[in-house]
Amino acid sequence: MAGDELKSTTEHKPASVKVFNCPSCGAGVVLRAVGQSITAVCGSCAAIIDSSNENYKVLEKASKTGKRDQVIPLGQRGKFRGVVWEVIGYVERSDGSSVYTWSEYLLFNPIKGFRWLTEFDGHWNYVITTKSRPTEDNLGRRKVTYLSKDYYLFHTGLAKVIYVIGEFYWQVKQGETVQVEDYVSPPEILSSEKSNNEIVWSLGEYVSQSEVKSAFQISKPMPLQSGVAPNQPSTVTETANYAGKYWGMFLGILFLIQLASMFLSKNETVYSGQFTYSSTDTEKLKVSPQFELSHGMSNLEVSVSAPVQNNWVEIQSDLVNDDNGESEDFEQGIEYYFGYDSDGSWTEGSQNSSLVLSSIPSGKYHLNIEASGPALPILNPAITMDVVTPESAVAKNSYWQNGKLKAVEPVLNEKIEGIAKYYFENGQLNKEIAFRNGERNGKYTIYAEDGSVQQTGVHLNGQLNGNVKWYNSKGVVTRDVYYNNGVLVPNNSANASSLTLNVVIKRDVTTWSNFLWALFLISFFPILVLWRNRSFEMSRWSQSDFSPYYQHQEEN
């Protein structure tokens, strides 16, 4: 494409139409831009004729290229962007590899001059030659600036004229090749065409197929549209712009509400107390004194701390409303571990746990707490399990086949009650086990056949609880472990004589969880739109050698 300005801007009279005979084949050649066009192509033999004067000299003889079924025929008029244009020339060009071809329609209006409509893969552009030369910037990503707008390099390559018909304002030639560079800033595309002696810049704007069809009343099917054009505007760009703008506004509002909530929250301590579990304590359920919650509906933060080390404790709590008996149950866990490995010292967990209860009404409350876990001190069964055989119990004896006594079990109300004794076949005492209510409860001793003590321990409700010790024949302890309800537990827990839970309850505290949820909810739509917009841009730039998205692939 070359310059499209009229030779005289004062010449506003309608273009006259002139017909002359082709000097090559004699067919009639129509001139629609008389005085403006300098070459015309014979529609019959495709000879290129000098139309700048009435000598009509043949510049190039007829080529072998056949006729084209162009979408907009020569001479077709159409009102486009408020101006009546007439199609006076048609050029088909291809890239250097001749794989891609595109069409260019030269439009003429006697007042406005020349414009172009270009079509590639069903995508159309309305093109005008620029009035000034864009400034180039080759630092970083290659771009040019025109009228304060940046355009990024999309394509470089050759453009070769493969077919031409009609009349033109420059001396057109079959096979003419120029170096082309396309820079894009959707919906615009800025193109330079560089030949031996000049560079021509033109600015194209993406136009919809329907707009072209309507303007030129095209009845035949339009070219099938495929892919994304270099300067095709994204359907979601506008949505992305306003979504980002309103997202920022909503984020600001959320921050203001959060700041106001932080400023207004009372953060009032309504209860603070300690609950101690000791080895002599058989009651696991602890009850706090009554406390009062005010301020209508508000949240409640329950913080519990315990000095556990390499251990854990679980706390099950009930917040009971003393006014109506309603309760809210919740669980908290405290676990804290530390140690040393090849990477140095490490810790995990915390000795504190806090939990926020949502929207608790005002009223009088108390807290029920029940702790469990290996961090609690082992209940000392020896203190509570001093079992004796009741006098009213009846001894139930059993015997070995050799007639020796096998077992003596005291029975009361059909349950073993008291100290049961079991014997070896040789009559030697084997076990002494304490029972209560038919279950093993209390101390037990296991003897070896030589009469020495082999093992001692304590049962609680049928489970091993407390120390279990093994002895050798000389009475020396060979193993000493601790059990809690039948489960072997670490020694350090059993060594602790008590564990104290510190409980602090605060009313109307500041939380960030609502803010984070609200932020997530208002961000969902903008993120979706931005993702779609990015997908569109990636699709656009996938056709380019200068994509900002695929640089790593180019390097490979």
Residues contacting 130, CB < 8 A, separation 6+: 146, 190, 201, 202, 203
Token pair of 5, please? 């300005």
Shortest approach of another protein to residue 307 CB, angstroms?
17
**Between residues 294 and 437, which has the closer beta carbon with respect to another protein?**
294
Shortest approach of another protein to residue 515 CB, angstroms?
7
Shortest approach of another protein to residue 481 CB, angstroms?
17
Tell the residue number behind the tokens 């609880």, with chain if given: 465
Shortest approach of another protein to residue 221 CB, angstroms?
32
Shortest approach of another protein to residue 398 CB, angstroms?
41
- Is-contact 94 120, C-beta < 8 A? no
Shortest approach of another protein to residue 322 CB, angstroms?
20
**Burial class for 215, CB neighbours closer than 10 Å (0-12, 13-18, 19+):** buried
Shortest approach of another protein to residue 522 CB, angstroms?
5
Shortest approach of another protein to residue 461 CB, angstroms?
21
Using only the alpha carbons of the chain, give its radius of gyration. 48
**Between residues 100 and 330, which has the closer beta carbon with respect to another protein?**
330
**Between residues 405 and 518, which has the closer beta carbon with respect to another protein?**
518
**Between residues 191 and 298, which has the closer beta carbon with respect to another protein?**
298
Shortest approach of another protein to residue 293 CB, angstroms?
10
**Between residues 205 and 314, which has the closer beta carbon with respect to another protein?**
314
**Between residues 346 and 531, which has the closer beta carbon with respect to another protein?**
346
**Between residues 249 and 287, which has the closer beta carbon with respect to another protein?**
249
- Is-contact 367 288, C-beta < 8 A? yes
> CA-CA distances (angstroms) from residue 46 to 2, 41, 70?
21, 6, 15
CB < 8 Å & 24+ apart, contacts of 58-61: 58/23, 58/24, 59/171, 59/173, 60/173, 60/174, 61/24
What secondary structure does DSSP assign to 410-424, as a single string?
A: EEETTEE-EEEEEE-
> Could you give the CA distance from residue 124 to residue 193 in angstroms, rounded to a whole number?
19
**Between residues 62 and 356, which has the closer beta carbon with respect to another protein?**
356
**Between residues 16 and 350, which has the closer beta carbon with respect to another protein?**
350
**Between residues 176 and 314, which has the closer beta carbon with respect to another protein?**
314
Written as one letter, the residue type at 258 is Q
Task: Give the CA-trace dihedral at 448, 450, 452, 454, to 10 degrees.
Answer: -20
Residues contacting 292, CB < 8 A, separation 6+: 270, 362, 363, 364, 365
**Burial class for 282, CB neighbours closer than 10 Å (0-12, 13-18, 19+):** exposed
Residue 303 three-state SS: strand
Token pair of 409, please? 């079990």
Pairing of β 58-60 and β 135-137: unpaired
Shortest approach of another protein to residue 358 CB, angstroms?
4
**Burial class for 49, CB neighbours closer than 10 Å (0-12, 13-18, 19+):** buried
Element (H, E) at 103: strand 101-109
Binding site for another protein (CB under 8 A): 239, 242-243, 246-247, 249-250, 253-254, 257-258, 261, 297-300, 310, 312, 314, 328-333, 335, 337, 339, 341, 346, 348-349, 355-360, 373, 508, 511, 513-515, 517-518, 521-522, 525
Shortest approach of another protein to residue 243 CB, angstroms?
6
Shortest approach of another protein to residue 162 CB, angstroms?
44
> Could you give the CA distance from residue 44 to residue 31 in angstroms, rounded to a whole number?
14
**Between residues 83 and 257, which has the closer beta carbon with respect to another protein?**
257
> Could you give the CA distance from residue 449 to residue 508 in angstroms, rounded to a whole number?
69
**Between residues 179 and 511, which has the closer beta carbon with respect to another protein?**
511
> Could you give the CA distance from residue 201 to residue 168 in angstroms, rounded to a whole number?
17
**Between residues 22 and 313, which has the closer beta carbon with respect to another protein?**
313
Shortest approach of another protein to residue 286 CB, angstroms?
18
